[in-house]
Amino acid sequence: MENILLWGFYVMTFYAFLPGLISRTFGFRVFKKGKTEKEIGLTFDDGPDPHYTPQLLDLLARYNAKATFFIVGSHAEGQVELLRRIHEEGHVLGIHNYVHKSNWLMRPKTVKHQIEMTNDLIERATGQRSTYYRPPWGIINLFDYSNMGHMQIILWSALFGDWRIRLGAKRLEKRMLKKLSPGQVLLLHDCGMTFGADRDAPRNMLEALETYLEKGKQEGYSFVGIDKMISLTDVNRKKQQSLFKRSIISLWLLWERAFHFLFRLKVVGSGDPPAFHYRVTKYGGESVSFEDGSKVEKGDRIAELHFDNRMLSSLAATSKSPLATGIRILREVERALPRLAKQLKADPDAAGVKAVYGVTMIHRGADRLGFHVYKLKEGLFARSTRVYLRVLLKVLTNTKQYDKTRKRKSENEMVSPRVLLMPIPRLLTYDQDNSEAVVDTGAPAALLEDTLAASVQDPEITSKTTAF
Ligand SMILES: [Zn+2]
Contact between 134 and 43 (Cβ < 8 Å): yes
Confidence (pLDDT) at 402: 45
pLDDT at residue 158, rounded to an integer = 95
pLDDT digits 0-9 by tens, 204-251: 999 999 999 999 999 999 999 999 999 999 888 878 767 776 676 667
Whether residues 308 and 210 fall in one domain: no
Alpha-carbon span 44 to 199, nearest angstrom: 15
In a domain, 20, yes or no: no
Instruction: Pick the closest to residue 458 from 304, 263, 258 (CA basis).
Output: 304
For position 109, what pLDDT does the model report?
80
Tell me if 18 is assigned to some domain: no
pLDDT for 368 equals 87
Quote the pLDDT of residue 19. Answer: 36
Please give the distance, rounded to the nearest whole angstrom, from the Cα atom of residue 137 to the centre of ligand 1: 6
* Residue ranges for the chain with pLDDT beneath 70: 1-29, 139-150, 241, 245-246, 248-250, 252-253, 255-256, 269-272, 313, 316-317, 322, 388-416, 433-468
Please tell me whether residues 49 and 177 are part of one structural domain. yes
Residue 19 lies in a domain: no
Instruction: Give a yes or no: residue 108 inside a domain.
Output: yes
Per-residue model confidence (pLDDT) at position 136: 86
Distance 197 CA to ligand 1 centre (A): 9
Whether residue 441 sits in one domain with residue 363: yes
Task: Say which residues have a Cβ less than 8 Å from residue 90's Cβ, sequence separation at least 6.
Answer: 66, 225
CA of 100 to the centre of ligand 1 (A): 6
* Side-by-side strand order, sheet with 276-282: 266-267, 276-282, 301-307, 355-360, 418-423, 372-375
Please tell me whether residues 169 and 273 are part of one structural domain: no
Q: What is the pLDDT of residues 41-56, one digit of tens each?
A: 999 999 999 999 999 9
- Catalytic machinery residues: 45, 189
Query: Ligand 1 centroid to 34 CA: how many Å?
Result: 21
Q: What is the mean pLDDT of the chain?
A: 78
Per the structure, how many domains does the chain have? 2
- Identify whether residues 282 and 139 lie together within a single domain: no
pLDDT value, residue 324: 76
Q: Do residues 84 and 126 touch, judged by C-beta distance below 8 A?
A: yes
> What residue numbers bound the domain in which 375 lies?
263-468
This prediction has a pTM of 0.54
Domain-located, residue 9: no
Tell me, in angstroms, the distance from the centre of ligand 1 to residue 214's CA: 26
Q: What's the pLDDT score for residue 365?
A: 80
Residue 367 CA to residue 374 CA, distance in Å, equals 10
